Structure 1
Amino acid sequence: MQSRFVREAAWRIVLLFTVVGALTAAGLGQTVELTRWAIPTPNSLPYGIGIGPDGKVYFTEFNGNKIGQLDPAANEIRERSVSGGPFGLVVSPSGSLFYTLSQANAVETLVFTGGSGRWNLPTPGATPQALVAAPTGPGQVNLWLTERDGGKVARFAPAQILVTLPLIITPPTMVPPTSVQIPAVITPTLPELHPGNPLLPPPIALLMPGSSPPFTEWEGVGGPRLTYRVAVAPDGRIWFTQEASPLVSLDPGSNTALYHGLPAGTQALGVIVGPNGWVWFTDTSRPAIGVLDPTTGDVRLWRIPGGIQPFDLVRDSAGNIWFTDRAANAVGYLSPFRNEIVMYPLGPNVHPVFLVLDSDERIWFTAERGNYVGRLAIVPALGPPPGGTGVLEINSTPPGLHVLIDGVLRGVTPLSLTLPAGSYNVQLLMFGLIPVWSSTEVVVAGTTRTINVQLGGAPPSGGEGTLQVNSSPAGLAVHIDGTYRGVTPLTVSLSAGTHTVQLYSGATLRWQGDVQITAGTTQVIQITVW
């Protein structure tokens, strides 16, 4: 048996996911329609953006010292004057607005048709910028913010919020939108893998907070350094990015911070946390979109073709990572399932900055230099071809595989879909990430097309032997010759000859080797993953 451990030094440079690469189909990025609403105040420098419960779009105007409200149904923009350089923005479920005032060193709340309230930060010259909401916390509202020049992250959790309630109706400005269709620029991009060491935990530090209600502030180790963005994880940890620093995760309950190392030269800027706890970030140095698995320490980086300064990012329900590239004047997305980056160039001197998804998963963004609020919406394909619809049924053994139809997540197996007649690319993903099966299927109107996919089926007839795969720890996913066969400990029958065995933990390749099977014998391999 010949084997090689993927954690050798050579693998620390780059790992090409052969399973993913072999099964990734051609790009399926679609044309989008860009709709632009020009902001009435010239050179306003819009930054923060949020969607209200009524579908209205709110944004900050840093240079204009205003908060804007766009009603896309009426094509109207209203503006409320504020002071102090509004930057980050959060819209509460009730429609109240919270935003940072970078120049006034404060956080402010505003009822757009009523009064406002302001709280000054305890650290002088902190320059508050990014602002995100937390689902829980000690306050009536619970927000987290970065203090860019103060080198801190802070929790804003007022026990009560009192604002005056005058009725203030600002006159609307009619803003007829302009629209243009932008074709997708699709580039296959295999990730670089920088393996971590799950047996070597990240450095830990005790960060004693300073409290001046409604603020609690935490400063990273090594003294103040520029602090950029902040995100709240499903487990309540707070992730933030700093200048020339690892990714930092803070447990506000214990005041402990973990410092997760990134590949040399990485400068993380934007940061979000996915539902599985993986941490996605923009890397402005390569430039690239990266993801950290906090459990293993593995980091993957997808370089952005033509990228310059990836700025902000958001995850859609299909698992695509949308991002703005400020200096490249583009909005794009990474499909980690397909290993593709899709770019939509916006034209010169636009500088898209922050972005957000609405309930229909359309992308809204602020254009810093373009001085507009933009919306990207997928242009639907021309209506169903003549002949109506058919049914596509997809079954698998084992069940529970994620199903992508033309690159869009549609559910898990077993799955039944009614689709317009036509041809579709179908992919099945293990663990929601690893492609294990792909096919082009034709749906005929008025009929049902049933697909039964069995992973790890019976071996071909002829001389056969047995392979036992054991691992420490157990429970690793076993792929043999590119096909998922089960988890360790595993015993399978294989045709005589050489077979390639791969062991995965989640989406991370832990071991790969070639095994020689002799008819009528049992080959046992024991793998210890470090």
Structure 2
Amino acid sequence: MQIITQEYKTANRESGPYGITTGQDGAIWFTEHKGNRIGRLTKNGDMRTFDLPTPDAGVMSILSARTGDLWFTEYKANKIGRMTMEGTFTEFELPEANSSPYGLTEGPDGAIWFTELNGNRIGNITPTGVITEYALPREGSYPSYITAGPDGALWFTENQNNSIGRITVDGEITEYRIPTEQSGPVGITAGADGALWFVQINGNQIGRITTSGNFTEYKIPFENARPHAITAGASGYLWFTEWGANRIGRITCTGDITEYPIPTPSAEPHGITVDPGGEVWFAEECDQIGRFTIQY
């Protein structure tokens, strides 16, 4: 297997790309945390940006919904945003101040589910803007990323509670303690094997949890890799960013890890996505979008 790497400079300096997703239009969409914009990048390298209505919103995670709309979190503005592919924005403010929405995913119920870092809650918002929130059992859990599981529930990381959480669409919450203490779980995704896979930014590991709550952990070879986000890719592989090691990692469902360096030093990779063609795209906070083309 050969990896061909391309990097694309963002249209504006100090944009700080963070979250990234594959749109239903075939383009790559990303958030500009510092630039306060949503960006769009085609496979031909054409880039376009859209300014957010709220100044200094702290835009973080982004997803492409089944309807084609883009949904994103506004950490500083305390809002959930929605954008059409044509650039029309709608923003929904959360009921409680300083909730700090962060991760989000589309649920099996058609709602967008999100985490509240400082609010210590899991919330969901319907397409019409109705918001429901559920408090976590332990204060200061710092829920981070969230993903739809294969069991019809939503699974999320509790960064400061060293746990993986599960919430049903009816709001019933279960928590599973991670074996490695103070591991700092962040990104989470559903794997092709029917389990949930997550990164441990402090534990320097990739974790796996079954829907029945059984854990397996895999140490990352590069010391202090500080993995951040993870996504499922083609052929059963899972891909993750190594913020501290300036690399992109790949893990098989049996736990074999391979790491690939990013050409630009100190690129600070964060969000990651895989397009339908199997290409891996990642947001580099150094004002670039990275792309791995894989040739077998």
Normalising by the residue count of structure 1, what TM-score does the alignment of the two structures yield?
0.52
| Displacement after TM superposition at 1:276 (Å) | 4.8
Match of 1:101 among 71, 74, 85: 74
Aligned to 1:522: none
Match of 2:118 among 149, 167, 170: 149
What value does the CA root-mean-square deviation take over the aligned residues? Answer: 1.8
Matched, 1:349 2:254: no
Aligned to 2:63: 90
Aligned to 1:331: 248
Query: Which residue identity does 1:115 align to in structure 2?
Result: T
Question: Alpha-carbon deviations, 1:135-182, whole Å to 9, x = none?
Answer: x32xxx511111111111111113x3xxxxxxxxxxxxxxxxxxxxxx
C-alpha distance in 2, partners of 1:269/1:327?
14
Question: Alpha-carbon deviations, 1:309-340, whole Å to 9, x = none?
Answer: 11111122422221111111100101233x42
C-alpha distance in 2, partners of 1:361/1:129?
26
Distance 1:79 1:299, change over 3 A: same
Gaps of 5+ in 2: none
Aligned to 1:76: 46
Match of 2:103 among 120, 130, 143: 130
C-alpha distance in 2, partners of 1:78/1:279?
34
Question: Alpha-carbon deviations, 1:481-506, whole Å to 9, x = none?
Answer: xxxxxxxxxxxxxxxxxxxxxxxxxx
C-alpha distance in 2, partners of 1:259/1:101?
26
Query: Which residue identity does 1:320 align to in structure 2?
Result: Y
Match of 2:155 among 231, 239, 263: 239
| Displacement after TM superposition at 1:247 (Å) | 1.1
Aligned to 2:93: 120
Aligned to 1:365: 282
| Displacement after TM superposition at 1:245 (Å) | 3.0
Distance 1:264 1:98, change over 3 A: closer
Query: Which residue identity does 1:146 align to in structure 2?
Result: T
Aligned to 1:7: none
Question: Percent identity of the aligned residues?
Answer: 25
Aligned to 2:238: 321
C-alpha distance in 1, partners of 2:30/2:246?
19
C-alpha distance in 2, partners of 1:264/1:355?
25
Matched, 1:282 2:199: yes
Match of 1:301 among 217, 234, 244: 217
Alignment of 1:126-205 (within 5 A): 126-134=99-107, 136-137=108-109, 141-158=110-127, 160=128
C-alpha distance in 2, partners of 1:93/1:250?
21
Question: Alpha-carbon deviations, 1:372-404, whole Å to 9, x = none?
Answer: 111101134xxxxxxxxxxxxxxxxxxxxxxxx
Query: Which residue identity does 2:175 align to in structure 1?
Result: Y
SS at match of 1:270: strand
Contact 1:48 1:89 in 2 (8 A): yes
Matched, 1:53 2:53: no
Aligned to 1:512: none
C-alpha distance in 1, partners of 2:216/2:232?
16
Contact 1:234 1:275 in 2 (8 A): no
Query: Which residue identity does 1:147 align to in structure 2?
Result: E
Question: Alpha-carbon deviations, 1:96-142, whole Å to 9, x = none?
Answer: 221111111111212243422111011210111112112x32xxx51
| Displacement after TM superposition at 1:90 (Å) | 1.4
| Displacement after TM superposition at 1:70 (Å) | 1.1
Aligned to 2:14: 43
Match of 1:66 among 20, 37, 60: 37
Contact 1:132 1:144 in 2 (8 A): yes
Distance 1:328 1:357, change over 3 A: same
Question: Alpha-carbon deviations, 1:34-81, whole Å to 9, x = none?
Answer: 1111001111111111122221111110110111111222x2211111
Aligned to 2:178: 262
Contact 1:130 1:146 in 2 (8 A): yes
C-alpha distance in 1, partners of 2:216/2:277?
29
Alignment of 1:481-492 (within 5 A): none
Query: Which residue identity does 1:45 align to in structure 2?
Result: G
Alignment of 1:406-417 (within 5 A): none
C-alpha distance in 2, partners of 1:352/1:131?
19
Normalising by the residue count of structure 2, what TM-score does the alignment of the two structures yield?
0.91
| Displacement after TM superposition at 1:262 (Å) | 1.5
Matched, 1:377 2:293: yes
Query: Which residue identity does 2:22 align to in structure 1?
Result: I
Contact 1:152 1:224 in 2 (8 A): no
